[in-house]
Amino acid sequence: MKVCIIDYGMGNIKSVSNALDFLGFEYKIINHPGDNIEEKIIIPGVGAFGDAMKNFEPFLSKIREAIDSGIPILGICLGMQLFFENSEESGEINGISALKGCVTRPKTNLILPHMGWNSLKIHKPDCPLFEGIDNGYVYYAHSYHVDAEREVVAATSNYGSKIIASIWEDNIYGTQFHPEKSGEVGLKILKNFLEL
């Protein structure tokens, strides 16, 4: 069984692939929209929403098809934000729009970007990502976060205000934090996804 990592020029491909190597899972890096999608998909991401969507455009139809067909798909950080409708960071540029919500700057008096470790509060213990995990700490590196409907919120953190840490709806999973940089908790989250 392979997982496909989508390389659209905005992702932390090396750190994600290193984590999968450590866990002993096979993966394939997809950098051409004509490549075959396997059984699971990871969309990493670092950078600005607008630039990411421009780079991601060639993959859009294939990703929407994968979502519709029930293939498990995990977005990490910016990769999670792309599932939503738009971002105040990038004006008129739309996201994948698989989920309702927008990407905004956190309403906090604390310094942005939000960098480093933060505690995780799990709201959906039945979310497969969190099987065997009782909260814990995870690693963040972001200046924007998702403002989404409560129904999709699987976990939160607090950084002067609530940060949506993780989302889950059907076959769509996302983490605002970087599981590949989040020690044992993060590796367990990745392992849970890979074993779906």
**Which sequence positions are flagged as catalytic?**
77, 178, 180
Task: Give one DSSP letter per residue of 131-150, joined into a string.
Answer: TT--S-EEEEEES-EEEE-G
Distance set, CA 103 to CA 111, 130, 157, 182, 185 (Å): 18, 24, 16, 23, 25
Taking the C-alpha atoms of residue 146 and residue 135, their distance in angstroms, rounded to an integer, is: 20
Letter for the amino acid at 148? Answer: A
Q: Beta partners for 117?
A: 139
Distance between first and last Cα of the chain: 11
For residue 175 the two structure tokens come to: 């983490």
Letter for the amino acid at 64? Answer: R
Q: Kindly state the helix (H) or strand (E) to which residue 87 belongs, with its residue range.
A: strand 86-87
